């Protein structure tokens, strides 16, 4: 009987942790619009923006990688996405002609970028130039 209570306690604790991770994952990426784009990129923290489109298969391939890195670097980098079909004027402003394009901003200025489905290593290489991992 005592074992059942302990097992229930362990299961509840595991479920609580899983739910926290799930919530954390979905709260780590900002969806950018013309209303919030410049406010987000002008902050103190570096911002990695994923310029993407719904129909873009390489963008879809990169999205889970972007999500994982958003969780990993959540205390050091803001991760955000901008749909180029909806906000093409912003993409044009930063000369985004191919997608996915990932631009790293610091205090409103683009400081580096990578284009294409570069995989996790490609994004890590970009981030590690400017961000120290724990």
| Residue positions annotated with a catalytic role | 56, 59
In angstroms, the CA 66 to CA 31 distance is 13
| 3-state SS class at 19 | helix
Q: Tell me which DSSP letter residue 132 carries.
A: -
Neighbouring CB atoms inside 10 A of 87's CB total: 17
């Amino acid at each position: 009987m005592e074992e059942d209570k302990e097992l229930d306690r362990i299961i509840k604790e595991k479920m609580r942790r899983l739910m926290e991770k799930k919530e954390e994952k979905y709260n780590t990426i900002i969806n950018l619009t013309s209303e919030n784009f410049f406010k987000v990129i002008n902050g103190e923290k570096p911002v990695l923006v994923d310029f993407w489109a719904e129909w873009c298969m390489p963008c879809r391939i990169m999205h889970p990688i972007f999500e994982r890195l958003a969780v990993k670097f959540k205390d050091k980098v803001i991760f955000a996405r901008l749909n180029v079909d909806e906000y093409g004027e912003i993409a044009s402003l930063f000369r985004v002609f191919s997608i996915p394009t990932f631009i790293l901003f610091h205090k409103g200025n683009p400081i580096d970028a990578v284009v294409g489905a570069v995989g996790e290593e490609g994004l890590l290489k970009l981030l590690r130039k400017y961000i120290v991992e724990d």
